[in-house]
Amino acid sequence: MGTSSSSTGPGGRSPLVPSWADADPGVPLPPPDGQRFRAFRTEFGRYVHGDGGVSLRSALGHYARTATGGGAVGPRRFGSAYQAGGSLFGLLGDLAAGGNGAAFAGVDLSGLAGRPLAYAAQEIARALAPENGDADRVRVAIQEAVAEVLPDMEIFDPAALTLDDVIAVMVEFLTRILFQQVVEDAGSAWNKAPSDERTAQAEGELFDLIKIALDRHLGPRLAAGGGRLPKAEVERLQRAAIDDVWRDWENFA
């Protein structure tokens, strides 16, 4: 994890959703409000500073309602992540069943079996990263998710992967995607932290809140499919989970 405290963050007039990341291409977007980040960054800065009575939930309420354009718009930002996540779920399941993953990654990845986990995570991430502005974000999130969930598997053994393992990787992946987006959108609000220790604490609290929400909203949906879900359905389930997160956050006072 790491903040973007050296950046002011995107401007209020920046697109609500970049065209290459839009999960609903062709659907018109409302014009961005030039002050859309103001309330979120003010509240987030107070939270990061440690002001009593200011909660992360309050900051995220402003994030969902105004900074991102509300629940009908905010979740559209993660189209690239939904697509990569759909491929990741299918790839891991295919490798676990003895396949080569080519249907999901475009290349034969069966040779990753028996290689160090760090190398396997790197190559899986490289194969699934999109060719657009989210390439680095998605690549890093996949690589870190695989390494974080499977630390005891020093040598990559796809045959040992369980459905629970795959779901845990998916939750970790989408958590890291959403976490990084909030971090970047907060921009200079991170500079309100009085110390590196407070910055790290705030990062951890944000990450944990996001992960708990996605574990609740995404995990059961994937588990209900029993590991046999087509890519398009996994994409839909990720979007549904993020939609639920936005609804939760919009209700944060």
Q: For residue range 87-137, what is the model confidence (pLDDT) as tens digits?
A: 999 999 999 999 999 999 999 999 999 999 999 999 999 999 999 999 999
Q: Is 27 exposed, middle or buried (0-12, 13-18, 19+ CB in 10 A)?
A: exposed
Pair of tokens at residue 224: 């209900």
For the record, the structure tokens of 252 come out as 């944060």
CA-to-CA distance for 172 and 185, rounded, in angstroms?
20
User: For position 137, what pLDDT does the model report?
Assistant: 97
H/E stretch holding 242: helix 231-250
Cα gap 155→150, rounded to integer Å:
10
CA 91 to CA 145: how far, in whole Å?
14
Residue 42 CA to residue 62 CA, distance in Å, equals: 10
For residue 1, is it within any domain?
A: no
The whole domain housing 202 covers 43-252
CA distance 180 to 113: 30
Would you say residue 16 lies in a domain? no
pLDDT at 69 over 80: yes
Q: Could you tell me if residue 184 is inside a domain?
A: yes
The owner of tokens 């930002």 is: 77
Stronger pLDDT, 140 or 6, i.e. the higher one: 140
8 — pLDDT class (breaks 50, 70, 90): confident
For helices 79-96 and 117-128, the axis angle rounded to 10 degrees is 130
Residue that the structure tokens 């996540």 belong to = 85
Q: Does a structural domain hold residue 14?
A: no
55, part of any domain = yes
Packing angle, helices 163-186 and 38-49, rounded to 10? 100
> Can you give the pTM of this predicted structure?
0.96
In a domain, 154, yes or no: yes
Q: Is 146 contained in some domain? A: yes
Tens of pLDDT, residue by residue over 135-148, are: 999 999 999 999 99
Is the confidence at residue 2, as pLDDT, over 90? no
3-state secondary structure of 164: helix
Do 246 and 71 touch, CB atoms closer than 8 A? yes
What pLDDT score does 36 carry?
A: 97
Domain count, the chain: 1
Q: Give the pLDDT confidence score for residue 6 in this predicted structure.
A: 54
Q: Is the dihedral of CA 171, 204, 37, 21 positive or negative?
A: negative
The total of other beta-carbon atoms located within 10 Å of residue 40's CB is 26
Q: How confident is the model at residue 1 (pLDDT cuts 50, 70, 90)?
A: low
The pLDDT tens digits for 144-189 are 999 999 989 999 999 999 999 999 999 999 999 999 999 999 999 9
Contact 80, 21 (CB under 8 A): yes
Kindly give, in sequence order, each residue whose CB lies less than 8 Å from that of residue 31, ignoring residues fewer than 6 positions away: none
Count of beta carbons in the 10 Å neighbourhood of residue 34: 11
Q: Residue 116: helix, strand or coil by DSSP?
A: strand
* Residue 13 lies inside a defined structural domain of this protein: no
